[in-house]
Amino acid sequence: MVRGAAVLFAFTWLSVPGWGAIDLGVSWSADWNPVLSGGWGLFFSVLVAAPFLVVALRPRAAAPAVWTLLVACGCLFVAAVISREPEIVGLLLWLLVGIGAVALPVVERWYPLSLSVQLPLLALAAVTGAPWLAYAWVMADRNRQHRPDTDFSSGADHYSVQAALALALFALAVLAAGWTRGQRQVGTYAAVCSIYFGALSLGWPGYPGSVEKGWAIASVVWGVALGLWAWLPRPMTSSTTSTPPAPIG
């Protein structure tokens, strides 16, 4: 049942109401709004649909996927508030329903979160990821302006989801730095989004949602570095070698 529910919710985020695959598919088309479409597609495909699929494939080892969904949910809420975009509420509620359906039954016990904080690493992730917070604020401000250069999906302004994407990249980088257990999966989600966003900005300079060339290159480099770090061999500790906790059931 958990696998089936996870696949169902993943499909809804790739199609309707998430439009993740559709928007990602037009992110290289000049007939659309490529950077904003790509940002929307990244958020709902990589940060939402993909974790649901991970739950479907490995429901008894899905803690990183569940926490990625929780981060996406929290960032979507914050983006709705700072962007003054009440139309996001419908998407947020559907995401909460999906999380409840797959996280509460029989997936790996994902709480409490067992952090392994290394302050230098955590500080590095926060400092290098801080520009995403500035970008999120700029996107939220543009959303509040009700600009004509935006796009809409499921009634929500793309600028607000662009802000949610940036918030999520910062939060996921910090989470990966402080949680060895979720380092690989969480870091991969953030790395893929950062690299693709940077490539979009390089490919579509001056389009709504894009950043300058230097920042676009930095986004690609940051994503590559994060991805490589996430896949480094992890030290064998008691937390990584112990028997996984029994699933909820």
Burial class (CB within 10 angstroms; exposed 0-12, middle 13-18, buried 19+) of 32: middle
What is the per-residue burial (b if ≥16 Cβ within 10 Å, else e) of 5-14?
bbbebbebbb
pLDDT value of residue 239: 43
pTM: 0.93
Query: Within a 13 Å sphere around the CA of 158, how many CA atoms are in the beta-carbon half?
Result: 26
pLDDT tens, the chain, 249 aa long: 889 999 999 999 999 999 999 999 999 999 999 999 999 999 999 999 999 999 999 988 899 999 999 999 999 999 999 999 999 999 999 999 999 999 988 778 888 888 888 889 999 999 999 999 999 999 999 999 999 999 999 999 999 999 999 999 999 999 999 999 999 999 999 999 999 999 999 999 999 999 999 999 999 999 999 999 999 987 654 444 444 444 443
Q: Where are the domains of the chain?
A: 2-234
Distance separating alpha carbons of residues 112 and 3, to the nearest angstrom: 23
Q: How far is CA 157 from the centre of its chain?
A: 17
Grouping H, G, I as helix, E, B as strand and the rest as coil, residue 156 is strand
The answer to whether 220 touches 197, Cβ cutoff 8 Å, is: no
